[in-house]
Amino acid sequence: MFSLCQTMRWYGPNDPVPLSSIQQAGATGIVSALHHVENGAIWEISEIEKRKKTIESAGLTWEVVESLPVHENIKTHSGNYTELIENYKQSLINLSACGIKTVCYNFMPLLDWVRTNLVYELPSGAKALRFEPLAIAAFDIFILKRSKAIDDYDANLVAEAKSYLKKIRQKDNGEEKKLIETILLGLPGSEEKFTLDELRDRIESYEHIDTTILAKNLNTFLNHIIPTAEKYDVHMAIHPDDPPFSIFGLPRVVSTYDDFKRIINNTNNNHNGITFCTGSLGVRTDNDLINMIQDFGEHIHFIHLRNIKRDSKGNFYESEHLDGAIPMIEIIKQLVKLQQKRKKSLPMRPDHGHQILDDLKKDTYPGYTAIGRLKGLAELRGVELAIKEMLLDTSQK
Ligand code: DNO
């Protein structure tokens, strides 16, 4: 029977989690990117080979690139964007020449994933990542002072945001500074870091780009790169927006069932695929994840398994992998079936992990602790094994 290929993300030689820890966690594959290469530049074969060799000498395989970043000029159709698309294609050709044939990327303007608290303490003392719309509103309206920000929130939220900020300013315990850093400095994997002024200016440069235009620019990008991906057998896997809705007035076009349908239909070719990220998609209650596996299964080339707990105010935090709003057991069951149908193992990584045990004392990348991810991977692996056994049992009866 085909099984999920268990992978973990490794940020390269500067990652505080060594490859040996990933191997001890039971993963066989690595998800990595050349973060040191400037965004937009070609990934040269020599650099790809170097990273590949490092991974292989630790007894692991480089399974997936996450991410090959899409330059802002491509998203906005500005400056040298046609040249940048050519560079992107060349990077795909080079990756294929080195045998790395699954590439994750995203099309989120300016910011990649966003959270407002990286050390949200759970009753056990474990720490998790959390997102609060109130903190986003306070930052946007009163700290970033984006023009028109106030129009994007309802009056009650604006008032609440004002008193939230007043309260944390009174406490004077560094909470405001922490919030600013959390949003501006970018989470691991994000390509850019901004100052407040830079972010405000860059957001303004998106003033004339709404969701229709951004979706059109994504289509243009796909029309250019998918034929190359097909020719060199590279499976492209677009990552959903995280969280899956507009932030700071910026358009987001990879958030819903209809977005994926549009993307797939645009270039209906198996190499035009998706990263099925449960934790990102699952934040929206109108995203039916099981339905998405059923309808887009042929295009799922990479899987991120993570859970969340959300409340009626739109707050969410990253919960235990098997405990939260995402029906993880049913999802794994569907993925087991999908792999048998496609006669293919799909790469999966436990997406993020809590800060627990010794990692509470260590400085690791937010969400990318060794022990929290090890725990997530072990639980997910156990569920998959049990489901496979049960399916085998019933098919033999
Ligand atoms: C966060 C990640 C994202 C992801 C990119 C993919 O943990 O899931 O940073 O890597 O959005 O392009």
The arrangement of strands across the sheet holding 316-319 comes to: 117-121, 127-131, 316-319, 307-310
pLDDT value at residue 366: 95
pTM of the model: 0.97
pLDDT in tens, 338-353: 999 999 999 999 999 9
Say what the pLDDT of residue 187 is. Answer: 76
Set 321, 351, 354, 359: catalytic member: 351
- Mind listing the pLDDT tens digit for each residue in 288-323? 999 999 999 999 999 999 999 999 999 999 999 999
User: Is 98 noted as a catalytic residue in this protein?
Assistant: no
Q: Which of 71, 105, 235, 239 is catalytic?
A: 239
- Sequence-distant (6+) residues with CB within 8 A of 162 are 138, 141, 142
Tell me how far the alpha carbon of residue 244 lies from the centroid of ligand 1, in angstroms.
12
Ligand 1 close to Cβ of residue 186 (< 6 A): no
- Per DSSP, helices labelled H in 58-193 are 72-76, 81-97, 133-138, 155-171, 175-184
267, 225 contact by CB (below 8 A) = no
Q: Which of 15, 68, 72, 112 to mutate to test the pocket of ligand 1 (most atoms within 8 A of CB)?
A: 112
Q: Any catalytic annotation for residue 352?
A: yes
* 5 catalytic residue (yes or no): no
Q: Is 69 in the pocket of ligand 1 (CB under 6 A)?
A: no
Nearest atom in ligand 1 to 190's CA: 9
Per-position b or e across 129-160, b if 16+ CB within 10 A of its CB: bbbbbbbbbbbbbbbbebeebeebbeeebbeb
Q: Is 302 in the pocket of ligand 1 (CB under 6 A)?
A: no
**Residue 99 burial (CB < 10 Å; 0-12/13-18/19+)?**
exposed
User: Nearest 5°: phi and psi at 322?
Assistant: -100, 5
Rounded-to-integer distance, Cα 226 and Cα 274, Å: 13
Query: For the chain, first and last CA: distance in Å?
Result: 17
* Helices 81-97, 45-57: crossing angle, 10 deg rounding: 40
* Rounded Cα distance, 260 and 265, in Å: 8
Among 104, 91, 6, CA closest to 48: 91
Query: How many angstroms separate the alpha carbon of residue 65 from the centre of ligand 1?
Result: 11
Told to judge if 77 belongs to the known catalytic residues of this protein, a careful annotator would answer no
Looking up tokens 């609060």 gives: 132
Q: Which helix (H) or strand (E) holds 339?
A: helix 328-342
277 assigned to active site = yes
What SS3 state is found at 340? helix
CA distance 64 to 88: 16
Strand partners, 9: 31
Alpha-carbon distance of 90 to 361, in angstroms, equals: 42
Let me know: does 275 contact 287? Beta carbons within 8 Å: no
How do beta strands 347-350 and 300-305 pair?
parallel
Q: How far is the CA of 176 from the centre of ligand 1 (A)?
A: 25
**Could you tell me if the CB of 106 is within 6 A of ligand 1?**
yes
Does residue 304 carry a catalytic annotation? yes
Residues of the chain with pLDDT under 50: none
Contact 125, 110 (CB under 8 A): no
Q: How far apart are CA 255 and CA 306, in angstroms?
A: 16
Q: Rounded CA gap, 359 and 362, in Å?
A: 5
